Amino acid sequence: MRVVTRACELGTVDGVRSRAVVMTMGALHEGHLALVRHARATADEVVVTIFVNPLQFNDPADLERYPRTLDADCRLLEAEGVDVVYAPSDAEVYPGGAPIVTVSAGAINDVFEGAARPGHFDGVLTIVLKLLHLTRPHTAVFGAKDAQQVIAVQTMVRDFNLPVQIAVAPTVRDDDGLAKSSRNVFLSPPQRTDALVLSRALLAADAAAGSGAAVPEVLAAGMTVLDSAPAVAVEYFAALHPVSAQPVAEDYRGEIVIAVAAQVGATRLIDNVTTRIGNSDAAHQGGTL
């Protein structure tokens, strides 16, 4: 495995039938490694990027405390058979300093994660576009846990006619149902127990959808579970359209993303499940709960 800091060291894609990229900010866990395995199964060459993108943080303190564990990350990736780790500096990615031209996520900025974290998705799309240009993959693999991010990236690829396939790998969970996240390390043992209410709420909403309930009843089923954990401060528990990431109408029928964001102590967590309204066969595309 090679570790490079400059895009020119990645090599060309000439002679490589397929290159897949997994974009990360490091502090790797089993969820990231699942993305790597997904990439490894579908491509001849796997590139993993490790870059803590300042444009994705609207709180400087959050950026400062984000864990940086490059050596440990590289050991994990080498064991997974990754071909190249691209770990650029800020100066490599943003050679002129903060970029003047950025990508806008449009209406996705106005709802849920976009509303809670102003400018976040603009930062995500700007770095994703940059890394696509720098790594030149045939496929880019993203995790279903960041549902609104996936929708934003898919929209950018479609709207800009980018020559890359976006692959979405299922959410990886611990045995107790908690979605894998780099932020889980900040949870104390009692807070981690409290955090399990997120996956239980999604499971309840998914079951309600599977039994034929409409959108309001599906959300109410999940909120009942969330209300049982007063230590968890819920920011939103909502139904998103799987293509636009916008809220759906109460009489909506079809595939739907149920998404939750909550504060557990000082740690903000998100999770989701994809299911179907008006069909008893729930999809579970957001990961097995």
Q: Which residues pair with 133 in a beta bridge?
A: none
What letter does residue 27 receive in the DSSP assignment? -
Closest C-alpha to 270, from 258, 284, 256, 282: 258
**What would the two tokens of residue 99 be?**
């970029």
User: Which residue among the candidates 32, 38, 120, 138 is catalytic per the annotation?
Assistant: 32
Counting beta carbons within 10 angstroms of the beta carbon of residue 288, is it exposed (0 to 12), middle (13 to 18) or buried (19 or more)?
exposed
Q: Which residues contact 62 (CB under 8 A, 6 or more apart)?
A: none
244-282 burial, b if ≥16 CB within 10 A, otherwise e? ebeebeeeeeebbbbbbbbebbebbbbbbbbbbbeeeeb
**Contact present, 131 and 95 (Cβ < 8 Å):** no
Q: Helices 147-159 and 120-135: crossing angle, nearest 10°?
A: 60
Separation CA 279–CA 208 (nearest Å): 11
Q: How many helices (H) and strands (E) does the chain have?
A: 9, 9
Centroid of chain to Cα 196:
19
32 is catalytic: yes
In angstroms, the CA 236 to CA 233 distance is 9
Q: Which amino acid is located at 123 in the chain?
A: G
Give the catalytic positions in this structure: 32
